[in-house]
Structure 1
Amino acid sequence: MNRPQFVFRPNLRDPAQRRAWQLLQGQPAGERSAYLAACILKASDQAAAQKELRAMLREELGKIQVTAAPAEPKPKKAVPKSTLDFFSALQEDAPE
């Protein structure tokens, strides 16, 4: 029985493929196939976990109703006594 073969010919102009090639070259020659298999399985597991998490979040967020909180009225500032005194003085001096 012949083993299936896989040929990886990275495009070294592509930064992602160049980085993948560098990582693969960092593995011992006898362990590269196991490394590739582990990477593929990990990526597949992550994709499945992301899909499941998105579905769960979509379901939970669908149960939530978001409403805007009523705006709180601005507190009224007290008019300083000096300002009131100023206006009172203007009224006293005004002719009727």
Structure 2
Amino acid sequence: SITDLADNLFIIWRNKRRERALQKLEASQILTEKEQEYLKEPASILCLEKQRNGEGWEGKISLYLDKQAHQFLAEENTSPYNYIANMPNSDYD
């Protein structure tokens, strides 16, 4: 009944099998075909499972973590945003 009280319900799913494959790759170990497929998957998924007000959107967004900036990005090879300089890191560097 607690979830019935919430207006919005978000779930963040972390792709642990992709993380293990990345760790194996960083350790210069050989990946199986299945592990190579895991690398093509998103690092995390943000799911909006419930939106109470109006005709709100419900769905999923794939996210990729930039470890250096500690930011989730919509695409794996994009630059994180530098909030201090108020511009993307690629423009700041």
TM-score above 0.5:
no
Q: Which has the higher helix share?
A: 1
Question: Looking at both structures, which has the greater relative contact order when contacts are Cα pairs under 8 Å and sequence separation is at least 6?
Answer: 2
State the TM-score, normalized to the length of structure 2: 0.19
**TM-score scaled by length of structure 1:** 0.19
Specify which structure has the higher proportion of strand. Answer: 2
